Homo-oligomer: A and B are copies of this chain.
Amino acid sequence: MPQYYILFLFSLIFFFSSSSHASVQDFCVADLKGPDGPAGYPCKSPANVTVSDFVFSSLAKGGNTTNIIQAAVTPAFVAQFPGVNGLGLSLARLDLAPGGVIPFHTHPGASEILVVTRGHITAGFVSSANTVYLETLKKGDVMVFPQGLLHFQVNAAKIHSSAFVSFSSASPGLQILDFALFANNLPSALVGQTTFLDLAQIKKLKGVLGGTG
């Protein structure tokens, strides 16, 4: 039967080789030097793709939380982790020191699912109907935040808390409310007109966050 096997080997490999070439779209590891497009980055040549394109090790340690919010977001979005390009999902790690806060923010292009891996986290989102969905989550608890809605996470433990958050997009975006309002040159009067905040409050936070105008 050896001849049989040799024939088997050669003929099969010969035969399916053309169709294998058609299968380049199993994945599309981002070539981050290429121009981005509405569906993501161009694909790195499959010949140059290795397992390291699909593995990301920078979430093993939490980000540095010795900052004023005592918290850190470490993203594994397409810009950091090219293997997720075109696959419609990504990941990030949250770290909150005691007292830490991820302030109100949205992801314009993705829903989010959070799982607590250490400590306790109080998380909430607000719907278009202005209803608050608020819960204090223990280790292992999961919470989902629907696309585009304002939400936040606050450390509810006396110890360091952490979580993984995954997204329904390789590039979910991240718009932090305070930065959008106060960390740019949007004139204070216009901020007041469009938020009903007092001018003194606006100028105070613009000062803190480096905004002008």
Contact = CB atoms under 8 A, between A and B. Distances in A.
A144 B195 contact: no
A195 to B, nearest CB: 6
B42 A35 contact: yes
Copies of this chain, tallied across the complex: 6
A159 interface: no
A22 B80 contact: yes
Given A55-B137, A57-B140, A166-B166, A175 B87 contact: no
Interface of A: 4-5, 7-9, 11-16, 18-28, 31, 34-43, 46, 50-52, 54-57, 59-61, 63-64, 66-69, 72-81, 83-92, 101, 103-104, 106-109, 111-113, 115, 117, 122, 124-135, 137-150, 152, 154, 164, 166-169, 171, 173-181, 183-186, 190, 193-198, 201, 204-205, 207-210
